Each structure stands twice: as structure tokens, then as C-alpha cells.
Structure 1
Amino acid sequence: MKLFNRLKEAAGTDWQDYVGHRFVAGLADGSLPEPAFRHYLVQDYLFLIHFARAWALAVYKADNLVDMRAASEVVNGILNVEMKLHIDYCAGFGIGPAEMEAAPEDVATMAYTRYVLETGLAGDVLDLHVALAPCVIGYGEIGARLAADAATKRDGNPYLSWIEMYAGDEYADVMQGALSHLDVLAEGRLTDARFERLTRIFSQATRLETAFWQMGLDAA
């Protein structure tokens, strides 16, 4: 079994609370209040800034050039591709980059991003990638599930493009790459005792993802 699947299984209800959150259900049926989604979009922009820092830390923490180059490509992708796509997407909701950059970080944003960075600073490259996994892989899982669900609203759903973005082939490649890389990093590092620690990291990051969804709902 892949390391990610073992971690997800060990996380139990924490994972289900994340991928099945009311925010996600609102994306699927189009009922999510727009103020909730707008707040999420602004905070997600701020999250991406720290996410890029976390991947830059992965370059530093890597112990070989292959992993260093892989992490550096992700940093480049976030800063020069994903953030531009996010800005373009937010423009459709009337949100500009100046507004997002000036927005204060929500407590949920601070808690999540600082936890990932702290985990990476205190641990090794595997600890860091496990902390990153619920976001990178979880969004792909959510997007694919919603896209495949006949109950997901298509006509008139303002969030369909978000679902399609994370269900698309391009993001599927990102997700599969992260899944495989976790297994590569685990070689020679994973023990039973280490798995217990990784489970705690993964579960905490997953709960922080759930809190990120809830942050959006609380803003509506």
C-alpha cells in the first residue's frame, strides 16, 4: 500500500471530515454562499505564498539533486504559474491582486501555513512532504470525486470551473507525482515508530485543511 493511503487510512474520520466538509458539498451543488468562496479565494492566495516558501524549504531539506530539482520546479510552478492562474480566476469574482495582498491573514491561514513550515524546519524532508500531502493530494481527490459524481450540479454552478480545475489531467499529474514521491522519500526512512510520527503530522495537517474550509463558511 502506498504511504499516502496508509496515512489516510490511519487518519480515519479526520480525512473524511476534510474531503466531505460542508464547504466541499456547497461547491458540488452550487449552494456555497459567494462571500464564503470569496473569502476562501483571498486566503488561498495568501496560503500559496507560504506554500511556495514550504517548497523552497523542501529544496533545502532534500539530500540529493534529483529531489532538489523537483522541489525547485514546484516553487517555480507556484510562483510563476499557479499564482497567475489564481489571480486570473479571482478576477472572475471581481477580486484583484492588490486586494488579496492587502488582506490580513485569517487565523486558520496562519495556523496551517506555520504548522507546515514548522514541521519542515523541525523534521526532515519526509516530514515536510507528509505535512504538504493533504493539500496537494487531497484537492486532486476532491476534484476527481466531485467531477465523477452524477449528483454534482453542472448547469448554473458557479463553482464548476473550480471542480474541473482540480479534476483535470494537469492537476492529476501533480497529484500522482506527489503520491509517488512520498514513496520514494519513505525508502530507507520509514519504520514503525516513524510511521506513528508521520500519522500525527498528516492528521494534524488534515485537521488544519478542514479548518481552512470552515474559515470560508464562517466568513459568509
Structure 2
Amino acid sequence: MSLFERLKASAADDWNAYVDHAFVRGLGDGSLPGAAFRNYLVQDYLFLIQFARAHALAAYKSRTLADMQAARGGLGAILDEMGLHLRVCERWGLSAGEVEATEEQQATVAYTRFVLDIGMSGDLLDLQVALIPCTLGYAEIGRRLAPDGVDAIPAGHPYRDWIAEYSGEAFQQAGVAAHAWLDDLGRRYASDNRYPELVAIFRKASRLEADFWEQGLEAA
């Protein structure tokens, strides 16, 4: 079993609370209030700024060229995702200036600073375990919400563009690359003695993801 699958199994309750949150179900069936999605869009953009910093930190923490290249790939995927967010925000009447001028809310700060703190205090494996719920959780959610492909989602679905992004080939391939890199790091740096600490990081990051969804719902 891969390191990621072991972590998921060890933190199953927290993982499922994240990927099967009411916010996610609302995205899937289109019932999510627009106010919740607008709040999420803005906060997720601010969130991604900090996650871009974390991926840059991963490059600094890398000791091999291959790891630096993997970190660069993760950073590139985040920057592409930020572009999508601004385009979706514009369709919801939110300008880039408005988004960037908004203050980070509590759940945004809690999650992003947790990841950055893990990155600063730990090694590359610790940081990747803190980052991976975001990448692979969104990839799993994308597959769940578009099991038959995005073309099967009605054109009038309010969140079709969002689902298309995370179920699409580009993001899914970014998830495959992140999964492979984590497992490679695990083979090199993980140990049985270290595993409980990695589970604790993974579990906390998954809970913070669920809190981030909840923050959006509370805004509605």
C-alpha cells in the first residue's frame, strides 16, 4: 500500500469529513448557496497564495534536482489554479483587485499557517504530507463530482466550471505526480517510528480542509 493510501486509511474519519463535506455535496448537485461559493472563491485565492509559498519552500527543502523539479511542478500547478480562480471570480462579479484586497478569514489563516509552520520546522516529507490533502483531496472530489465526465453535467449547472477544472486531465495529472512524489519521499525518508507523526500531520490538514469548507457555508 502506498504511503498516501496508508495515511488515508489511518485518518479515514477526518478524510471523509473533508471530501464528503456538505459544501462538496452542494457543489455537486448545484444546491450550494451562491454566497457560500463567492466567499469560498475569494478565500481560496488567498489560500493559494500561501500554498504557492509552501511549494516554493518545498524547493528550498529539496536535496536533489529531481525533488526540486517536482516542487516546481507543484508550484506551477498552484499558479495555474490561481488564474482559474480569478477568471471564475470575474464571472461571479468579483474583480482581481477586490479579491486581493480581502482579508484572510480565520480558517484560511489556520490552515495555511499550519502548513507553512510544518514546512519551516520539519523536512520535505513533513511538508508534503501537510500539502497532499489539498491536491489529492481536490482530485478525488473532482472525480466524484464528474464520474461520467464534465460533458454529462448540464450546461446550466452553476458550478460546472469549477468541477471541470478539478475533474479535468491537467489537475488529475498534477495529482498523479504529487501522489508519486509523496510515495517516493516516503520510501526514502519514512520509517515505522516516524509514521505516527506523519498521520498526525495528515489528519490535522484534513480537518483544516473540512473547516475551510465550513467557513464558506457559514458565510451564507
The separation in 2 between residues aligned to 1:76 and 1:168, in whole angstroms, is 16
Residue 154 of structure 1 and its aligned partner are, at CA, apart by: 3.0
Structure 2 partner of 1:135: 134
1:15-54 map, 5 Å: 15-54=15-54
Contact 2:146 2:153 in 1 (8 A): no
Change (3 A) 1:149 1:193: farther
Deviations 1:104-140 (A, max 9, x none): 1000000000000000111100000000000011000
Structure 1 partner of 2:122: 123
> Counterpart of 1:148 in structure 2: which amino acid?
P
Deviations 1:7-52 (A, max 9, x none): 0000021111001100001001101000000000000110111011
CA RMSD, 1 decimal: 1.5
Contact 1:136 1:175 in 2 (8 A): yes
Structure 2 partner of 1:96: 95
> Counterpart of 2:115 in structure 1: which amino acid?
V
The separation in 2 between residues aligned to 1:176 and 1:73, in whole angstroms, is 12
Contact 1:29 1:153 in 2 (8 A): no
Aligned length: 218
Change (3 A) 1:20 1:119: same
The separation in 1 between residues aligned to 2:27 and 2:87, in whole angstroms, is 19
Report % sequence identity.
Answer: 52
| TM-score, structure 1 normalization | 0.95
Deviations 1:158-212 (A, max 9, x none): 0122112111111110000011001111123111121111000000000000000
| TM-score, structure 2 normalization | 0.95
> Counterpart of 2:111 in structure 1: which amino acid?
Y
The separation in 2 between residues aligned to 1:112 and 1:20, in whole angstroms, is 18
The separation in 2 between residues aligned to 1:218 and 1:27, in whole angstroms, is 15
> Counterpart of 1:14 in structure 2: which amino acid?
D
Contact 1:14 1:203 in 2 (8 A): yes
Contact 1:130 1:182 in 2 (8 A): yes
The separation in 1 between residues aligned to 2:178 and 2:163, in whole angstroms, is 19
Runs of 4+ in structure 1 over 4 Å off: none
